Amino acid sequence: MEPVVLFALIGVLGIGAQWLAWRLQMPAIVLMLGAGLLAGPVTGLLDPAEGFGDLLRPIVAVAVAVILFEGGLTLNIAELREARPAVRRLVFLGAPLGWLLSALAIHYGAGLSWQSSAVFGGILVVTGPTVITPLLRQARLKSRPASVLRWEAIVNDPVGALCAVLAFEVVAALSGASTLAKAAEHFALGLAVAGVAGYAAGRGIAWAFRRGEVPEYMKVPVLFGAVLAVYASTDSLLHESGLLAVTVMGVVLANAHLPSFDELRRFKEHVTVILVSGVFILLAASLNVEVLGQLDWRAGLFIALIVLVARPVTVALALAGTGLSWQEKTIVAWIAPRGIVAVAVAGLFGQRLVEKGIEDGALLTPLAFALVAATVVLSGFTIRPVARALGLVSTDVPGVLIVGASAWSVSMAQALHGAGVPVLVADRNWHRLRPAREAELPVFHGEILSEAAEHHLDLNAYETLIAASDNDAYNTLVCTDFAPEFGRTNVFQVGRETDGGSQRDLPATLGGRPFAEGVRYVELAARRTKGEGFVLRPVNVDWATWRADHAGDVPVAVLRKNTISMIGTATPSVGPEDRVLTLGAVEGQVDR
């Protein structure tokens, strides 16, 4: 098969698997693993070694270099200082402890050499943030354990990769030196070269970006070119130092406080999705029957030791004295699915270990695949029953996320907040958020669709989304993007400004459910301008009678004891103890 066709097939399988996972609300890693195995060892349709030949190794190496740079780009030291003490303990104490215990489990469980075990142990420090986030939403964990799990996944992503790189540097130094002194000299030289090169490149790019030496439209291309240049130059100067250099470069840029950092995050979001998908498919398709056949009972023992011994002991020791209950520590210990980064880094380092004469390095990739599949499936199927058994499922009233700050949406948020419903008002414009801030409502300033929002917002407390901006297309995009996470029945948008069935209208199949009986934004804004407000009115009759009695109101939501149901265009079900939040004339005392 021609290399161009191979590239196209890999792209279709990788991106297609991610899209299908989004549609089916499944972890993308599971579908990508299935697609790669089906195309590779099962059908023989995709054979990367034959198709790319000698180019396969550098292709994977460059992709992993970009992935590690992306990992470094997420390691913000200031955010780590502000993280919960439990998260800091899991990073500073849990990461090295997990590295040691994982290496022991690999050596004595899977039977790998100490060199391979040390490298693989560093890789397994990483938990998958892209896998953790959907699991937390599915289980509706209480905020404290959910926050610890989410932040551990985010912060340990680059830390684990850095551990693996350092371990590999040590192994490379020992294997290429005749004495221990020579190995120490080689390792120190590698650290110095990589550290200086990565730091200098990061500071140089930050200086150029801050002074306007690079135009906005060129920043991402320049950054991508710089990553490739730093990796290639340092690796050619001192073999195996390139990966560490680009990781250091990412960390430097993450802490440079660049005004254009959001633009750099877009680089991370788009380019790494493509590369991660491609590398995952390549590695899965490269597995052959002979290598898979080497996974015997010891692979199962290795997985059991990681899940049942290494992770629980790490969490127990790292979180001792943090104030977390034993139930919270148990759920943190149990939920640790590994992600795509672990497989990608294991695939590259496995190849390099084999080249250095460490034959069992070939087992790193299949063992990584096996552990990822086992932990993702195990966590996905058990997180909710385990959380329920431990009493960690949140029983609070589900919250409402309101995207788009305006006079009427902030007034609605105030009414919900006053009724005991958690609310969060999000907007890209700091000025529009001023009324919400003055009302002391929780706010998010930024793009709700960005990966930064995904990492920095704890959305587990919110079950309903209302797209309430004055832009139909943006509301539709927000609802379409969040529908898989919130559920398609829980995303709403204000009535659309249509042209009466014109072809220029947005497709009705996109977006969320109509909000507040489909009333448009302009009417909601006009009512608020006229002095109408959001009030809670009791329901002691059937809906038809209540609606007739309040014909001039715009009903928004039905509030019950522990739930809230937004009102769309369908007739809501109401009970005698329910209350309706409605936009209408405020007549003296508000009904409560």
Query: Model confidence over 268-302: pLDDT tens digits?
Result: 666 767 777 787 788 778 777 676 677 788 889 99
Joined together, the tokens standing for residue 115 give 């060199």
- Dihedral sign, Cα of residue 568, residue 569, residue 575, residue 580: positive
CB 381 within 8 A of CB 548: no
Q: Which residue segment(s) compose the domain that 544 sits in?
A: 399-584
Residues 332 and 408 in one domain: no
Q: How far apart are CA 368 and CA 525, in angstroms?
A: 54
Domain membership flag for residue 589: no
Domains held by the chain: number:
2
Selected residue with higher pLDDT from 459 and 360: 360
DSSP 3-state assignment of 444?
Answer: strand
Residues 405 and 318 in one domain: no
**Assign residue 111 a region: left if phi > 0, alpha if psi is -120 to 50, beta otherwise?**
left
Selected residue with higher pLDDT from 458 and 509: 458
Q: How far apart are CA 251 and CA 157, in angstroms?
A: 12
Average pLDDT over residues 314-337: 89
Question: Given 367, 389, 411, which residue is the final one in a domain?
Answer: 389
Residues 259 and 219 in one domain: yes
Q: Return the number of other C-beta atoms located less than 10 Å from residue 347's C-beta.
A: 24
Residues 443 and 382 in one domain: no
Average pLDDT over residues 218-229: 86
Question: Given 389, 423, 439, which residue is the final one in a domain?
Answer: 389
Residues 370 and 488 in one domain: no
Q: What is the pLDDT of the chain when averaged over all its residues?
A: 81
Residues 486 and 509 in one domain: yes
Share of the chain above pLDDT 70, in %: 85
**Which residue carries 């690796």 as its tokens?**
235
Average pLDDT over residues 508-516: 76
pLDDT at residue 441 above 50? yes
pLDDT at residue 179 above 50? yes
Residues 343 and 446 in one domain: no
pLDDT at residue 1 above 70? no
Domain membership flag for residue 368: yes
Residues 6+ apart with CB under 8 A from 241: 169, 190, 193, 194, 197, 234, 235
Q: What is the pTM of this model?
A: 0.67
Residues 109 and 8 in one domain: yes
Selected residue with higher pLDDT from 346 and 1: 346
Closest CA to 160 of 352, 345, 284: 345
Domain membership flag for residue 590: no
Average pLDDT over residues 313-333: 89
Residues 158 and 248 in one domain: yes
pLDDT at residue 253 above 70? yes
Most confident of 125-134, 188-197, 418-427: 418-427
Domain membership flag for residue 337: yes
**What CATH number is attached to the domain comprising 77?**
1.20.1530.10
Q: In the structure, what pLDDT confidence band is assigned to residue 266 with cuts at 50, 70 and 90?
A: low
CB 287 within 8 A of CB 366: yes
Closest CA to 103 of 149, 166, 158, 157: 166
Q: What is the pLDDT of residue 314?
A: 92
pLDDT at residue 82 above 60? no
Least confident of 242-256, 265-279, 351-365: 265-279
Domain membership flag for residue 591: no
pLDDT at residue 304 above 60? yes
Express each pLDDT in 543-564 by its tens digit. 888 888 888 888 888 888 777 8
Question: Given 389, 410, 443, which residue is the final one in a domain?
Answer: 389
Residues 498 and 363 in one domain: no
Share of the chain above pLDDT 90, in %: 10
- Pairing label, strands 443-445, 554-559: unpaired
Residues 227 and 362 in one domain: yes
CA distances from 332 to 104, 147, 315 (A): 21, 10, 7
**What CATH number is attached to the domain comprising 556?**
3.40.50.720
pLDDT at residue 137 above 90? no
pLDDT at residue 590 above 50? no
Domain membership flag for residue 592: no
Express each pLDDT in 469-481 by its tens digit. 988 888 888 888 8
DSSP 3-state assignment of 319?
Answer: coil
Q: What is the pLDDT of residue 592?
A: 39
Q: What is the pLDDT of residue 589?
A: 39
Domain membership flag for residue 242: yes
Average pLDDT over residues 360-373: 86
- What's the gap between Cα 311 and its chain centre? 21
Residues 378 and 492 in one domain: no
Q: How far apart are CA 123 and CA 416, in angstroms?
A: 45
For 492, list phi and psi in degrees, rounded to 5: -130, 155
- What are the percentages of helix, strand and coil residues in the chain, rounded to 5? 65, 10, 25
Q: DSSP strand E in 339-438: where?
A: 399-403, 423-427
Domain membership flag for residue 394: no
CA distances from 356 to 115, 118, 174, 269, 387 (A): 11, 15, 10, 34, 45
CB 161 within 8 A of CB 68: yes
Selected residue with higher pLDDT from 437 and 71: 437
